[in-house]
Structure 1
Amino acid sequence: MKNVFCIMALVATLLTPACGGNALGLWDVTAKRTITLDEGAGVLVQADLVYLGESHDVAAHHAAQLAIIAAMAKVKPDLAVGIEMFPHHDQDVLDAWVGGSLDEGALRAAFARNWGMAFELYRDIFVFCRERRIPMVALNAPREIVRQVARGGFASLTPEQIGELPPVACVVDPAYEAFLRRMFGGHHHGHASSFAHFCEAQVVWDTAMAYYAVHFLAERPNTVMAVLCGQIHAWRPAMPSRAESLAPGIRQLIVLPRAMGTVDENTVTPQDADYLILGLE
């Protein structure tokens, strides 16, 4: 219980403006107005999938994710948290953690093996889910397969490797390619084949995560899943587009951390996302 009190104290701190600071809030991209986190939570829980984009190494983004998850949990008991940080074949690790049979040392080892980023950035979210018995869902494809596609294209995969993926097609449509060019600009300006392979890798990545999220929700139709993933996957043309293809009509809302000049009130449209997180500065 001590962990719960510490975490809820952290959440309360995030929701309360400090002297000279800002409380977390949300910018409604369509309505062009600011709403409180509690107001936003009431809207978010009406979706099936809620994407909480992040920059993986920014602690404030993870603290905001926790605050949003906690606000959603207050009004929607049937909540799950899907995470990019674990491949689907390690779902048993997350089940054991949430169920209480896996200690933190073993979780840290699995996290380091799968992700490599500092566990401390995510720890409070993991502890909150364990204490509240909120299911955590491993969404990712095997990293080595995604990396191979990025190097040699989808055609380079063996039948055995393809068997490790969900039954998804690797189709890069013009809209998705244009989205990736917009996101990455000149970072992938080499050979055309290199960029094509990069696009295929992103498609495999986004589609696999969408598949596992949609599959989980199909078995728990009253559940809302908060998806923790890198910002590039959370934008509407990425994972949400793949989820819509797999489950037409699925209700999705996209929440991105605000960054002045790149992801802000003047640059993001409803074709990109639904809400921006304010108060991260």
Structure 2
Amino acid sequence: MPGPAAAGACVPAGAWVEPSAAGPRTVAAGDLLDRLARRPVVLLGERHDSAAHHRWQLATLQALQARSPDLSLALEMVPRRLQPVLDRWVAGALKERAFLDALDWRAIWGYDADLYLPILRFARDRRLPLVALNVERRLVRRVRAEGLAAVPVSEREGVGRPAPASAAYRAQLHRLWQHHPFVPSSGQGLPGLEDPSFGRFVESQLLWDRAMAEAIADQRRRRPGAPVVALIGNGHLAGGHGVPHQLRALGLAEAAWLLPWEASLDCTALQPGLATAVYGVASPPPAGLRLGVYLETHGGRVEIQQVAPGSLAERSGLRVGDGIAAIDGQPVSSARQVIERVAAHPTGRPLGLILRRDGRLLTLQLALSGL
């Protein structure tokens, strides 16, 4: 449990708080939303698998749309090539199942579509323009493996050269990179910030940030004066290093970014620059065991994208890049199946996992004692 300074009391559930040099400052919701509605861009963070985060996003979107009826909604989870599908959804030409099938939701994102459907229904009902922000994941992976210079400009999906990463962002990404299986090891500890493999990883993240920022800027040019609200993962927003930094380089210095805040977070992290404002979300405790991983589904394969420090997954040796093939002997083909089966696992028994790693199948029994 966090200590007194980190117990989450700095951001009560249901409150908006602005980080400042003088300390966290609670602000009235109406006043803050009035100010935000005048910004050209408002970025709403999320942890992709959190229902509480998506409920907050919807409520904030509704409040902003009431103040700026002509706003657009931009989506990290949809690659640009699927923009016509979003347009047909907003036009009312697709039913929900046909919409998700046309997007191939499980392949492009993998997280439970039910978490996002209330937001997507609201956008359709209000005829809000939807904007696909992302590039194909294979492009990000290629840059991570080969470096940006090795990818011809004609094969970058129109994305320009990103603004360089700040030292703070490089440090943040280095902490994330250390959990990835492709980190080279010399037996003498983890490579430092100047390692070429880490440099390529930074370039891949910058490309991802830049792609989303450029798509937002393009929408602003298409609809001058109409705000853009975007749903984007917390890691691309926290500290203003990711997408906000790229937007500033594109001339959109007045963008705001908002983060959901859970009571378990350390209040010492609530520093100036973390976000324009944070909102205290009330997250119920999970129904069952949680591994502590972020998952993505690609063509029926479930892959680990992040491993939370100190989690059951980290303690059990799970790595970024591992594929989860089965749980307790039952095959899984989506992130939702993994979450449901882990949550339903009987207490007091080891959790059986079959992983795909480097072309091999590994069988693990995760000891749950002491949780």
**TM-score over 0.5 for the pair:** yes
Checking the alignment, whether the CA contact within 8 Å between 2:73 and 2:230 is kept in structure 1 is yes
The residue matched to 1:101 in structure 2 has which SS?
coil
Checking the alignment, whether the CA contact within 8 Å between 2:262 and 2:280 is kept in structure 1 is no
**1:90 positional shift:** 1.2
Q: Which amino acid aligns with 2:131?
A: V
**Equivalent of 2:15, from 22, 25, 34?**
25
Q: Which amino acid aligns with 1:279?
A: V
How far, CA to CA, are the matches of 2:14 and 2:47 in structure 1?
17
**Equivalent of 1:94, from 64, 76, 86?**
86
**1:150 positional shift:** 1.9
Change (3 A) 1:204 1:268: same
The residue matched to 1:54 in structure 2 has which SS?
coil
Checking the alignment, whether the CA contact within 8 Å between 1:168 and 1:208 is kept in structure 2 is no
Question: Per-residue CA shift, 1:70-119, capped at 9, x if unaligned?
Answer: 01111111211111010112111111111111221122121223212111
Alignment-derived partner of residue 19 in structure 1: none
Identity %, equivalent residues: 33
Larger displacement relative to structure 2 (35-44 or 197-206):
35-44
Alignment-derived partner of residue 169 in structure 2: 176
Alignment-derived partner of residue 269 in structure 1: 271
Change (3 A) 1:208 1:37: same
How far, CA to CA, are the matches of 2:32 and 2:237 in structure 1?
18
Q: Name the larger-Rg structure.
A: 2
Q: Is there any run of 5+ residues in structure 1 with no aligned partner, and where?
A: 1-21
Q: What is the 5 A alignment of 1:205-224?
A: 205-224=208-227
How far, CA to CA, are the matches of 2:257 and 2:166 in structure 1?
21
Alignment-derived partner of residue 15 in structure 1: none
Q: Which amino acid aligns with 2:223?
A: R
How far, CA to CA, are the matches of 1:227 and 1:268 in structure 2?
22
Change (3 A) 1:241 1:172: closer
Alignment-derived partner of residue 66 in structure 1: 58
Q: Is there any run of 5+ residues in structure 2 with no aligned partner, and where?
A: 1-11, 185-194, 284-371
**1:158 positional shift:** 4.3
Change (3 A) 1:215 1:43: same
Q: Which has the higher helix share?
A: 1
How far, CA to CA, are the matches of 1:53 and 1:68 in structure 2?
11
How far, CA to CA, are the matches of 2:210 and 2:277 in structure 1?
23
Alignment-derived partner of residue 200 in structure 1: 203
Alignment-derived partner of residue 143 in structure 2: 149
Q: Which amino acid aligns with 2:172?
A: F
How far, CA to CA, are the matches of 1:170 and 1:156 in structure 2?
18
How far, CA to CA, are the matches of 2:62 and 2:267 in structure 1?
25
Q: What is the 5 A alignment of 1:1-281?
A: 24-30=14-20, 32-109=24-101, 110=103, 111-158=105-152, 160-162=154-156, 164-169=157-162, 171-181=164-174, 184=176, 186-188=178-180, 190-191=183-184, 192-235=195-238, 236-247=240-251, 249-260=252-263, 262=265, 265-281=267-283
How far, CA to CA, are the matches of 2:13 and 2:153 in structure 1?
51
**1:122 positional shift:** 0.3
How far, CA to CA, are the matches of 1:93 and 1:24 in structure 2?
35
What is the RMSD computed on CA atoms of the aligned residues?
2.2
Alignment-derived partner of residue 341 in structure 2: none
Change (3 A) 1:54 1:178: same
How far, CA to CA, are the matches of 2:163 and 2:40 in structure 1?
24
Checking the alignment, whether the CA contact within 8 Å between 2:41 and 2:227 is kept in structure 1 is yes
TM-score normalised per structure 1: 0.83
**1:272 positional shift:** 2.0
**1:185 positional shift:** 7.1
Change (3 A) 1:72 1:117: same
Change (3 A) 1:257 1:72: same
Q: Which amino acid aligns with 1:161?
A: E
**1:266 positional shift:** 2.9
**1:24 positional shift:** 2.6
Alignment-derived partner of residue 17 in structure 1: none
Q: Which amino acid aligns with 1:133?
A: R
The residue matched to 2:259 in structure 1 has which SS?
strand
**1:167 positional shift:** 2.7
Checking the alignment, whether the CA contact within 8 Å between 2:263 and 2:280 is kept in structure 1 is no
Larger displacement relative to structure 2 (149-158 or 229-238):
149-158
Checking the alignment, whether the CA contact within 8 Å between 1:141 and 1:165 is kept in structure 2 is no
